[in-house]
Structure 1
Amino acid sequence: SWLFHPVWSDVLIQGRSLMKSVNQMCPDITCIYSIGKSYMGLKLCVIEISDNPGKHELGELEFRYVAGMHGNEVLGRELLLNLMEYICQEYKCGNQRIVHLVKETSIHLLPSMNPDGYEMAYKKGSELAGWSLGRYSYEGIDMNHNFADLNTVMWDAIELETDKSKLINHYFPIPEHYTSEDVASETRAVISWMQTIPFVLSANLHGGELVVTYPFDMTKDWAPREHTPTPDESFFRWLATVYASTNHVMSNPD
């Protein structure tokens, strides 16, 4: 059943219904799955779009979009719902760009990472809610700052390693203590999702500002404003420029 929770509002049900309708329109290239539940028990539903949905094919790139990390930032959620419908319709129409994407990429879309916050903000209404209502998880956790701080782990490793040539700096495991109560259930679900599927690229859609941010700077603390590029700096800058240049408002110099 798609009515996962008895207190869901009509608008949340409509979102899940749209995912279901896309799956029914394009059953050969879509599947719906859950990566876990929110604090209040709402399922975090993902739709996968691929020529073999539900199967990881060796050599096929896995991509994901996540929206709704801040529950009251709704534009990203609406864009992902629109995107899944668009891909399905254009694939059926034979749009060669879309057909190529579907055949060569496994696309995973999570429209709402924070359905509890979304529900709180929606029930109150945009004209009555404060700017932060629904932004955080039901527990009051800002999931945008809830993932592991690997910068500190990296700098600690650099300081402890006497032979710098032995330091493996392209991967740092998530610290074991990161199962503490300060980590939201939604954050844990996304981390587990990332560990299960080898995504090569992902993006997180927020609302309210015109900015593209990309990982990972290596600044040791917040004070200095030094440029600390990583080996992937040029690639990240290229991706950010591609995104910003195709957004007419962001690319407008005025």
Structure 2
Amino acid sequence: MFLSFCRANNSLDFTYHDHDAMTWYLRSVAATYPNLTALYSIGTSVQGRELWVLVLSSSPYRPIVGQPNVKYVGNMHGNEAVGREMLLHLIQHLVTQYQHDTYVRWLLDNTRIHIMPSLNPDGFSVAKEGTCQGGQGRYNSQGFDLNRNFPDYFKSSNKNSQAETEAVKLWIARIQFVISANLHGGALVASYPFDNSPNTRECDLNNFYLKAYNPFQQSPYNCEYCRFVQVLTWSCSNTFYTSFNTHVSC
């Protein structure tokens, strides 16, 4: 899907869009394509910024029985902004190509795609362009790593659950998703639920999706940083759908 939208002629410019520009764009798309999109917020960040989600479907306001819900989340780490912009351009591609591309039409006729370009708008607002590893803006405004702020399935946690985390938990409880991708930056790797140990029994479905992401990868292990991604395991354990972290570089 991501490879196909790169070929489209998009009016969205190839720059980083701050929260106001992103909000304007999402509202503009929702107003221009009311038969394909619906804009909603799952809550606000610690500093009060809306956590926007745009649902794309040929029936955006009326869920159809049997039509799966999938979601994309970007910018969980505020300074990892490539995924944020990719999702904005994905939106542009889907709405402009619905009438022209048979695959896009099939996709929106048979799937409800929920796209959240930024889960950490507060972090993005202070991130420095060109700084991809660590650095300012990675965490939310309270200094928490949102990727590791969810309850741990295997051990108790006394972490202070953040506003962004609570919003996602309520969102997932409200909508029955079947699969999800969380776009990160800084590395080229994909991780899946229960990634805290290389001894975890492999799942054929996980392997299928990871091979689709990187067909040349022979071993899914040995990425020390990518282990202990609590949001993946929590989603799988509590809502019974598979979620992946996909790193799309800086």
Work out which of the residue numbers 29, 39, 48 in structure 2 matches 1:41: 48
Are 2:69 and 1:66 aligned? Answer: no
Percent identity, please.
36
Runs of 4+ in 1 over 6 A off after TM superposition: none
Distance verdict in 2 for CA 1:30–1:71, change over 3 Å = same
Q: SS of the counterpart of 1:200?
A: strand
Are 2:173 and 1:203 aligned? Answer: no
| Alpha-carbon distance in structure 2 between the residues aligned to 1:129 and 1:206 | 10
Identify, as 1 or 2, the structure richer in helix: 1
Work out which of the residue numbers 170, 187, 212 in structure 2 matches 1:242: 212
TM-score under structure 1 length normalisation: 0.73
- Measured against aligned partners, the alpha-carbon deviations of 1:56-106 in whole angstroms (never above 9, x if no partner) come to 32211000000010001000000000000000011032x110111101100
Equivalent residue number for residue 103 of structure 1: 109
Residue type matched to 1:198 in 2? Q
- Measured against aligned partners, the alpha-carbon deviations of 1:146-176 in whole angstroms (never above 9, x if no partner) come to 11111348xxxxxxxxxxxxxxxxxxxxxxx
Q: SS of the counterpart of 1:235?
A: helix
Are 2:190 and 1:212 aligned? Answer: yes
| Alpha-carbon distance in structure 2 between the residues aligned to 1:139 and 1:48 | 29
Residue type matched to 2:114 in 1? H
| Alpha-carbon distance in structure 2 between the residues aligned to 1:12 and 1:217 | 32
How far the C-alpha of 1:10 sits from its partner, in A, is 7.1
Structure 2: give runs of 5+ residues left out of the alignment. Answer: 1-15, 217-245
Q: SS of the counterpart of 2:72?
A: strand
| Alpha-carbon distance in structure 1 between the residues aligned to 2:131 and 2:113 | 36
Q: SS of the counterpart of 2:18?
A: helix
| 1:86-235 map, 5 Å | 86-93=93-100, 95-121=101-127, 125-126=128-129, 131-152=134-155, 182-217=160-195, 219=197, 225=198, 227-229=199-201, 233-235=203-205
| Alpha-carbon distance in structure 1 between the residues aligned to 2:18 and 2:164 | 20
CA RMSD of aligned residues (A): 2.6
Q: SS of the counterpart of 1:150?
A: coil
Structure 1: give runs of 5+ residues left out of the alignment. Answer: 1-8, 154-177, 220-224
Equivalent residue number for residue 9 of structure 2: none
Count of aligned positions: 203
Equivalent residue number for residue 82 of structure 2: 75
The structure having more radius of gyration, on CA atoms, is: 1
TM-score under structure 2 length normalisation: 0.74
Distance verdict in 2 for CA 1:92–1:25, change over 3 Å = farther
